[in-house]
Amino acid sequence: HIDLEVDFPENLPIVKANNKALREVLSNIIDNALKYTPAGGNIYIKLTTSAPQKDDDKSVKNEIEGMLGIAISDTGYGIPAEDLEHLFERNYRGEKAKTDIPGTGLGLAIALDLIHIMKGKIKVYSPVVPQWLSHDLQQQDAIINSGTTVVLWLQVLN
């Protein structure tokens, strides 16, 4: 089994998004998290209007001002650094994905296109960004040195 934990604060703002497109994006990302997280692992979904970003990614902080962040983090194997820059290319499957796990390499490319249409942003971090995890998971070294965090940023209605 895989544990799923969610952190949705009260009074979330309404976002500018197409319901069907957002559902497709979330489906692709959560499906990937499920496929690449081994049994006994965790998937953690967090929504926030602030940006718990990695220290080396301050440029993103300015771009996402006034947006809602949806982070899907997993305790899977993570994505090798050499694969990160190619993740959004159509039909690209990283080395760890070239296993018996089914897939076409289209999910993230489609997700990126749909997020751009909605004037949002998408960012992938591997290893996982600890600030996007629950406090309990942040304390486990084995978890914070692997896994993946995918963050979607959507525009908030004023």
Segments in the chain below pLDDT 70: 51-62, 94-100, 102, 104, 133-144
Q: Tell the CATH superfamily of the 3-155 domain.
A: Histidine kinase-like ATPase, C-terminal domain (3.30.565.10)
The domain limits of the chain are 3-155
| CA dihedral of 122, 127, 132, 138, whole degrees rounded to 10 | 180
Are 43 and 3 in contact, with CB atoms under 8 Å apart? Answer: yes
The full length of the chain comes to 158
Looking at residue 96, its pLDDT comes to: 58
Looking at residue 31, its pLDDT comes to: 93
Looking at residue 29, its pLDDT comes to: 96
Task: Give the 3-state DSSP-derived string for 11-22, with helices as H, strands as E and coil as C.
Answer: CCCCECCCHHHH
Nearest to 101 by CA among 111, 93, 109: 93
> What's this model's pTM, rounded to 2 decimal places?
0.85
